[in-house]
Structure 1
Amino acid sequence: MGSVTLATIIASGYRSFGMPVAVLRTLAITREAVNICCKKRVVAWSCRSSHIGALNCESSRIDVTHTTCTSPVNCYPEYQRLLPCPPQNHAPRVEHLVVSEGGPVLEYICKALDLPPLFVTDLIHFGAVYYALVSPQPPPSATPEQIRIFKEVTKPSVLRKRDSIRGKTIQEAQKTFRISSVDQFVEVGTYLRVYVHPKRFPRCYEIDWNSRIIAVAESYVVLDKPACTSVGGTTNNIEESCATFASRALGLTTPLITTHQIDNCTEGCVVLARTKEYCSIFHGKIREKKVKKLYLALAVAPVPTGVITHYMRPINRSPKLISEDYVKGWHMCQLEVIECRKVPWPSTVVQKKYCIEDCGWLKEGYAYECKINLLTGRTHQIRAQLAAYKAPLVGDSMYIPAAIAEIENPGLNPFGKYKKDYTSDDEKEMAVMEWISHYGKEPSVAIGLQACQISWDDGEQFYEAGSPWWRCEEA
């Protein structure tokens, strides 16, 4: 496996923005499984949990209708390439390795995980492989043998012999970076994290991206982002993103740059910079509150007009917990409901066309379309604030179940209007955990939310998205 061959493989990679989009085809999809192996001093553990400290794993929907086992030990698909893209995400599989034999990263991963070179090349291209000079602490699922090897390779006497970490603290040496080249050399003791099943976005291959371009300026592009897509990619997939596919649609040789985010399940206006300089300029406009965003939200119940204020728990994971009362250290969230009008509930045909999830809310024939001015920009802010008003968004599988639970049991929400008095911090924490358990999973399809307008420089730059999915014809 010579370097010339590897360079050729990378040169033909998907980030050649002029290449045609691959045809969608179903790949064999695995059952959820965990395989723990330890051989040749390789530390490897697969994980599924989304809460394992620094070793987080993505959660994803699982389709087990087609299963191909490569061995009787692990029931994984037969790996070939990452494209064509499967219509569903594979079951999560994240492998953590400690390098036992120095060499090119491609060769090491292929040998350690028994994966074909083209598949590992694709993973590196997708941004699904990370490294750190020193391994972080193993998760609770690690075996005694894996913990023993971790302690062996991180002993001070061993680390002192490594020139690569000289002058660095342990914390600095444990910082992870994305692998960008198949030829990158990894030395003994290097930590590798391999997202063997990166989160996929099949919707990218179904979109007419040229039709989603709102404006092309010298320094930026405004895109009407489709739902079920990522603006700039995820932790383990920087390939299947709006920035990449819009760049290809416009025939750009330099990829567009993300300037701000909206949720994967949300559609509407996003601004993508054409240069790093304008990306910094636009970030400055956001910080200085010179960018105004208006949203259309399709709620299951009416919402009062005017400014709504809540406080959001400052924890960087979902669901986002909201309090009606001030809580020290929590972030203030404000939005202005400009108008709220009663509209027909989306028909079965429209819901099926846009894959809207039935989240158990009792439909009454009508929904409520709200125009919202977002005054503070918090993750999930509109979704969480409207859910706190018992008016979650249509199709929002994360927040609707909790809203239903609170309606059925008004004292369930420890931060709600009918919250109970708790005798101790432990009792309050138990109530918080119980409350979180009533939330659902993050939607993998569209919800009733659109970033309908974006403007900056006092309206000098003003752009609007097309009609939201719920206004589209049933044809």
Structure 2
Amino acid sequence: MTAAAAATADGAAAAARARTAGGGAGPAGAAAAAAASADDDPFLAVAVPPLPRQLSAKVQHAIISADSQLSERLSEQLGLPRPLILELMRFGAVHYCPVMPKAGPNTPMTPEQLAAASAARAGAMARWGPAPKLQVPRRAMEDAPATAGGYARVHLQPKRFPAAHTTDWRRRVLHQGPDCVVVDKPPGVQVSPTVDNVLESVPACTAAALGLPLDSLAGLHRLDAGTSGVVVLGRGGLAFARWWCGLLEARSGGGGSGGGGSSKSGGKSGGGSESGGGSESGGGSESGGRSGGRGPKAGNEAATARAAEAARAVEAAAEAAAATGGAPLRKVYRAATLSPPPLGRMVHHALVGTRRPGEPAHTLMLAVPVEGSAYCELEVVQVKPIALTGAAAEEFGPSAFESDIRLVTGRTHQIRAQLAASGCIVIGDLLYEAVSARAAHEAAAGERAAHEAAASGRGGGGGGADAAASSAAAGDGGGGTAGGEAGAAAAAAASAEAATAAAEAKCGFAVGSAATAWSRAAQADPLRAIGLQAHRLAVYDPERRLGDGAPAAADLGPGWVEFEAGVPWWRA
């Protein structure tokens, strides 16, 4: 960043903070800011610290009308203060490309707007050429020249992460190596930047704490926003990123890598992907972003060499796995629940990424495999009673159970979904509490319908196998009159209704027929802390790729290093 750009950015930040001061700091000022309308003061969207409530997404699009500085042109065309545009750039909420992308068939534009967009696109292509990469909007973190016919997308109200401003990030750093930084992630922030906010992601916050450039770190795997624990960040070295992804692939046999997701190995190790979520153990774990990628083009010697290096890294990781009698990367998660899960292996079959319009993506755990399901296995190694403290004790009571869990496979939301399917919901996990409540509702409704059908059949003279099945379901041992059987069915239906009501009461909202009703509470607070921590990460690293000073794992033998998260938030 040039001195002038730095001064401009600093001035923009100062302007934003001055506008959000509200006449004084503290709760009163925060309450006043929260009560104000972002329409009246658009700087509230980038307030530091953030408002105590999320603002809804608000995006504006612009076809650049003339050559100019990007901030100047957007300020004029969108009618917004230039300092606000600069602050949105600092957050990573502005995207720009020099050639207007081709409008899709469903683009909501009038014929006049489509004609103007086509003309702008033609002019820009005549100037810059038709290269597809020039038509892909990229994050504009600093002000720069923009040219006529270009396109900009501005996220006026970025998704905010208050925990980014209340965390002592320097104390969260567990290890610094030449190619990586290992950090103990707090709940309430994301590893990957969102499409509208780089500044409050784990890599950016860690880089700022260490005095590094904003884009110098990137997540090599993920945890959900509400999950805490050990995360490895890459410093930009492709060789290290490929080695790490090779470990993940060797650990999972090429499948899911981590506690929480389908592992798409790779990782744009110097930048950060624009994903809004995803995770290990808590969410979809893309174990790195974009460091792997497509095969090299013919004649590209550098790309061929990188591909060969990646293959060697995977092969070396597989050899390491064989040498250690297992995976070269081992993870133990710690979960807090109000009821104790059973010790030992837990096996389910997952339908990953289940969703209908208006619903959040979630994982359904089934007892038997079906088409499209994925095998899931974890091992509950230890369960012990604990005393909750602070906010956890206030919400969930004085005590809970804490489990150490070893993942055998890695699927999206695996630990959360498997524990919920076993009746042991992770504390604070509104999503899988809702999934569990909906499952209870649907099971009760199915049981009620079956009993009603059985009772109706016997009332009309039915019998035989149907009567025996209904009798077994009602628990009457197979005897009794038709009237008695009907009474048992009615009692079972009443019991099912009571179970549904209890599940809905526990869930905190009604499970209705609308697609979003069952998950409304979970969607209202996506940054809520949950009782799940990536507690320990052990890596077989005889070549010391993680760097000197990485703590040795004495109980695993030579060549192993291990990182351990601090006391989890529910006991802190």
Q: Contact 1:225 / 1:268 at 8 angstroms: preserved in 2?
A: yes
Partner of 2:426: 393
How far apart are the structure 1 equivalents of 2:562 and 2:121? 59
How far apart are the structure 1 equivalents of 2:91 and 2:35? 24
The one of 172, 187, 194 equivalent to 2:154 is: 194
Shift of 1:322: 1.0
Partner of 1:334: 377
Amino acid aligned to 2:564: E
Q: Contact 2:64 / 2:152 at 8 angstroms: preserved in 1?
A: no
> Deviation per CA, 1:434-459, whole angstroms, max 9, x where unpaired?
67641222532311011100111175
Partner of 2:538: 455
Q: Which has the higher helix share?
A: 2
How far apart are the structure 2 equivalents of 1:120 and 1:292? 44
> Deviation per CA, 1:61-96, whole angstroms, max 9, x where unpaired?
x989744458xxxx3424389352224244123223
Amino acid aligned to 1:9: T
> Deviation per CA, 1:302-361, whole angstroms, max 9, x where unpaired?
3223132221334698331314132323443332222233434x35x4327xxx8x5xxx
How far apart are the structure 1 equivalents of 2:101 and 2:351? 35
Q: Contact 1:92 / 1:197 at 8 angstroms: preserved in 2?
A: yes
Partner of 1:370: 403
Give the unaligned 5+ runs of structure 2.
Answer: 23-29, 252-327, 448-510, 542-555
Partner of 2:76: 111
User: Secondary structure at the residue paired with 2:8?
Assistant: helix
Amino acid aligned to 2:87: D
Note the 1:21-36 alignment, pairs <5 A. none
Q: Contact 2:101 / 2:121 at 8 angstroms: preserved in 1?
A: no
Q: From the superposition, tell whether residues 86 and 365 of structure 1 become closer, same or farther in structure 2 (CA, over 3 Å).
A: closer
How far apart are the structure 1 equivalents of 2:373 and 2:113? 38
Q: Contact 1:80 / 1:119 at 8 angstroms: preserved in 2?
A: no
The one of 239, 261, 283 equivalent to 2:222 is: 261
Q: From the superposition, tell whether residues 288 and 191 of structure 1 become closer, same or farther in structure 2 (CA, over 3 Å).
A: same
Aligned length: 396
Query: Is 1:147 aligned to 2:81, yes or no?
Result: no
Partner of 2:334: 296
The one of 65, 70, 73 equivalent to 1:101 is: 65
Q: Contact 1:26 / 1:86 at 8 angstroms: preserved in 2?
A: no
Shift of 1:265: 0.9
Q: From the superposition, tell whether residues 274 and 158 of structure 1 become closer, same or farther in structure 2 (CA, over 3 Å).
A: closer
Note the 1:280-295 alignment, pairs <5 A. 280-289=242-251, 290-295=328-333
Partner of 1:319: 361
How far apart are the structure 1 equivalents of 2:410 and 2:347? 14
User: Secondary structure at the residue paired with 1:92?
Assistant: coil
Amino acid aligned to 1:319: A
Shift of 1:195: 1.0
How far apart are the structure 1 equivalents of 2:121 and 2:164? 46
Shift of 1:469: 1.6
How far apart are the structure 2 equivalents of 1:413 and 1:122? 54
TM-score between the two structures when normalised by the length of structure 2: 0.60
Partner of 2:235: 274
TM-score between the two structures when normalised by the length of structure 1: 0.71
Shift of 1:229: 1.8
How far apart are the structure 1 equivalents of 2:381 and 2:536? 13
Shift of 1:151: 2.3
How far apart are the structure 1 equivalents of 2:181 and 2:538? 13
User: Secondary structure at the residue paired with 1:403?
Assistant: helix
How far apart are the structure 2 equivalents of 1:405 and 1:162? 52
Q: From the superposition, tell whether residues 63 and 390 of structure 1 become closer, same or farther in structure 2 (CA, over 3 Å).
A: farther
Partner of 1:446: 529
How far apart are the structure 2 equivalents of 1:340 and 1:310? 23
Q: From the superposition, tell whether residues 204 and 251 of structure 1 become closer, same or farther in structure 2 (CA, over 3 Å).
A: same
Q: From the superposition, tell whether residues 156 and 311 of structure 1 become closer, same or farther in structure 2 (CA, over 3 Å).
A: farther
How far apart are the structure 2 equivalents of 1:24 and 1:233? 26
Partner of 2:347: 308
How far apart are the structure 1 equivalents of 2:398 and 2:425? 16
Partner of 1:425: none
How far apart are the structure 2 equivalents of 1:4 and 1:270? 33
Partner of 2:309: none
How far apart are the structure 1 equivalents of 2:135 and 2:445? 41
How far apart are the structure 2 equivalents of 1:342 and 1:285? 34
Shift of 1:295: 0.5
Shift of 1:196: 0.8
User: Secondary structure at the residue paired with 1:311?
Assistant: strand
Amino acid aligned to 2:349: H
> Deviation per CA, 1:147-188, whole angstroms, max 9, x where unpaired?
33442145499638732674457xx77643222331231432
Partner of 1:219: 179
The one of 90, 100, 114 equivalent to 1:125 is: 90
Identity over aligned pairs, percent: 26
Q: Contact 1:300 / 1:368 at 8 angstroms: preserved in 2?
A: yes
Q: From the superposition, tell whether residues 364 and 4 of structure 1 become closer, same or farther in structure 2 (CA, over 3 Å).
A: closer
How far apart are the structure 2 equivalents of 1:375 and 1:147? 53
Query: Is 1:469 aligned to 2:563, yes or no?
Result: no
The one of 246, 269, 289 equivalent to 2:206 is: 246
Report the more deviating stretch, 301-310 or 114-123.
301-310
Larger of the two Rg values belongs to structure = 2
How far apart are the structure 2 equivalents of 1:165 and 1:389? 58
Shift of 1:294: 1.0
Give the unaligned 5+ runs of structure 1.
Answer: 15-21, 29-61, 415-430
> Deviation per CA, 1:180-216, whole angstroms, max 9, x where unpaired?
331231432x332211111122222222222212222
Q: From the superposition, tell whether residues 435 and 222 of structure 1 become closer, same or farther in structure 2 (CA, over 3 Å).
A: same
Note the 1:346-357 alignment, pairs <5 A. 346-347=388-389, 349-351=390-392
Partner of 1:17: none
Amino acid aligned to 2:230: C
